[in-house]
Amino acid sequence: MKRKEVYATSGTRIKLRTFAGFDMPIDLAETGDLAAAYKQGVPMGVRLYARDSKADGVSLFVWAVKDPDNAPCCLLAEHPC
């Protein structure tokens, strides 16, 4: 197994993907475009190599979706679990 795209939870099963890159689109959080995240960055578990880039640093993007079969999501600030 080359990529270690694995995580574990003891509760709700969420779909989670994490990306890092030097030239990720600025509007990625609004669009949620996973194709752009894979094209401009690397997924969790893959080595990110430094390269010539106009960016000042690394950008991170986390995409998460709740499990449709479990209880609805709540904000911890509103209802601590």
Query: What are 31's two structure tokens?
Result: 């669009």
Tell me which residue has tokens 């194709």.
Answer: 35
CB 43 within 8 A of CB 36: no
The pLDDT value recorded for residue 20 is 92
Task: Spell out the residues 6+ positions from residue 68 whose beta carbon is closer than 8 angstroms to its own.
Answer: none
Count of structural domains within the chain: 1
Q: Average of pLDDT values for 41-64?
A: 83
Task: Spell out the residues 6+ positions from residue 13 whose beta carbon is closer than 8 angstroms to its own.
Answer: 67, 69, 70
The range of the structural domain enclosing residue 56 comes to: 1-81
CB 70 within 8 A of CB 12: yes
Position with higher pLDDT, 17 vs 67: 17
Kindly report, residue by residue over 14-46, the tens digit of the pLDDT: 788 899 998 888 898 888 889 999 998 999 888
Which pTM does this prediction carry?
A: 0.64
